[in-house]
Amino acid sequence: MNFEFTEEQLMIQQTARDFAEAEIAPTAIERDKEAKFPTEIVKKLGELGFMGMMVSPEYDGAGMDTVSYCLAMIEISKVDASVGVIMSVNNSLVCFGIEKWGSDYIKETYLKPLARGEKLGAFALSEPEAGSDATQQKTYAVKEGDYWVLNGIKNWTTNGQTADYYVVMAQTDPEKRHKGITAFLIEKGWEGFEHGAKEDKLGIRSSDTCSLMFTNVKVPEQNVIWEVGKGFNFAMNTLNGGRYGIASQALGIAEASLDASVKYSRQRKAFGTEIFNLQAIQFKLSDMAVKTEAAKLLTLQAASLKDAGKNYIKEASMAKLYASRVAVENALDAIQIHGGYGYVREYHVERFLRDAKITEIYEGTSEIQKLIIARELIR
C-alpha cells in the first residue's frame, strides 16, 4: 500500500478542509440544536463536485478515486457529521450502486443529476421488521402490465424527506427469499408515496431521517435498477461500498475529538500547569491518537483495495467496525478531558459523542460487521 497521497488527493483534502471550516463549522452547533437540514451547504457541496465524487465524468461525476472521497468525508465530518452522512448516502449508497449496476436508462436519467448535486438520493432497505435481518423484506411489488405496483413501509431513511430519488428494495417473489428481492428507483411526488415525520434523534440531528410509505405506487418497468431478483445482491454490494464512507465519517469525529482535546488541554490550567503536561491527560491523548491512526489505515486500506479493483468486503467492514468504535471512545475521552465544559454544547465534544454513536448502528451494526468479517475469513 502506498502511504503517500498524490497531489490530487492532497488538493481534494485541502479543498474539503477549507470548505468545512469556512462554510460548515460556523453553523454546526445551531443546526444541531434546531435539527435544521443544511440545504445551502449541500447545494455548495454539489457545486464542488462532492456529491458525485467517484462517479465518472461520463455521468457528470467528478471521477475521483475512493481514497480522495474518504479524505474529503473525513474533513467534512470533522466539523459536522450530519453533513457527512448526507454526502455519504448520496455518493456511496446511491450513486455508486447505480453507476456500477444500474441500467443505461437509470444512469442517463437519474445518475447524472445526482452526480451533479442537483438532485439528492436516499437508500431504503430497512423496515420496521427488517433491520439487521435485511432479507425479511415485507415491502413488495407486483407486476401489472408495464408497471410494478409497490406497497410497504421503509424505516430510518437518511435524506428521507429531502431526497428527490429513492433506491428502494422490495420483495417481488417471496418464495425465493433474498433471491426474490428487486431494487427500484422511485421519484419523490409519485402518487401513493409519502414520508413520515422527521425522527427526533440523539445525534446527526441536522440530517433528516424518516419512514417512507408506499401505497399502490405505480413504478414503470424501466425503473428496475438492475435485474429483477438481484435487489438484495445490489443492496449488499452497495453497502460494502458505503462502509468505508461511514468509517471515514467516524474518523472525522475521532480526529475532531482528538484535535479539540489537544487544543483544550494546552489552554486549561490545573495543579499549576497546562493540563496537557499531566500524565493522566497525556496517556488519554496518546491512546486517542494511536487508535485514530489505526482506524485511518484500515479505512484507507479498504479504499485503496477498491481503487485497485480488488475485493474489499472484509476490509470495509473492519474499517467501519473499528473506526466507529474509536469515534465513540475518542468522543467520550474528549468529554472527560474537557470536564464540565465537555458536557455543554459550546465546546462541540458532546455533539461528537451523540453523532459518533450512530456510526456503530447504521449501514450495518457493529455486530453485523463482525458477522461479515467472520464469514469472509473462511471464504
Q: What part of residues 294-323 is at the interface with ligand CAA (CB under 6 A)?
A: 313
**Smallest gap from residue 187 Cβ to ligand CAA (A):** 18
Point out which span in 166-174, 301-309, 339-347, 359-367 binds ligand CAA (CB under 6 A).
Answer: 359-367
Position 312: which residue type?
Answer: Y
- Grid coordinates standing for 124? 431504503
The whole-angstrom separation of Cα 217 and Cα 170 is 12
Count interface residues toward ligand CAA (CB under 6 A): 25
187 is catalytic: no
> β-pairing, 269-270 with 273-274?
antiparallel
Single out the catalytic residue among 40, 144, 363, 376: 363
DSSP 198-247: PP--SSSTTS-EEEEEEEEEEEEGGGB-S-TT-HHHHHHHHHHHHHHHHH
Compose the 318-347 pattern: x for residues touching ligand CAA by CB under 6 A, - for all others: ------------------------------
Point out which span in 20-28, 112-120, 228-236, 261-269 binds ligand CAA (CB under 6 A).
Answer: 228-236
Nearer to ligand CAA, 228 or 278 (CB): 228
Across 227-253, b (16+ Cβ under 10 Å) vs e yields ebbbbbbbbbbbbbbbbbbbbbbbbbb
Burial group, residue 104, by CB count within 10 angstroms (0-12, 13-18, 19+): exposed
For residues 70 and 300, is the Cβ–Cβ distance under 8 A? yes
Does 237 contact ligand CAA by CB under 6 A? yes
Point out which span in 41-49, 119-127, 218-226, 289-297 binds ligand CAA (CB under 6 A).
Answer: 119-127
Handedness of CA 122, 127, 128, 131 (dihedral sign): negative
Does 368 contact ligand CAA by CB under 6 A? yes
Q: What part of residues 168-207 is at the interface with ligand CAA (CB under 6 A)?
A: 178
Does 127 contact ligand CAA by CB under 6 A? no
Does 126 contact ligand CAA by CB under 6 A? yes
Chosen residue from 6, 14, 39, 132 binding ligand CAA by CB under 6 A: 132
Q: Where are the alpha helices (DSSP H) in 211-365?
A: 231-267, 279-307, 313-338, 349-358
**Smallest gap from residue 216 Cβ to ligand CAA (A):** 24
Chosen residue from 15, 135, 277, 366 binding ligand CAA by CB under 6 A: 135
Cβ neighbours for 31, distance < 8 A, ≥ 6 positions apart: 37, 38, 80, 82, 205, 206
Task: List residues binding ligand CAA (CB under 6 A).
Answer: 89, 123, 125-126, 132-135, 156-158, 178, 232-233, 236-237, 239-240, 313, 362-364, 368, 371-372
Write out the catalytic residue numbers.
363
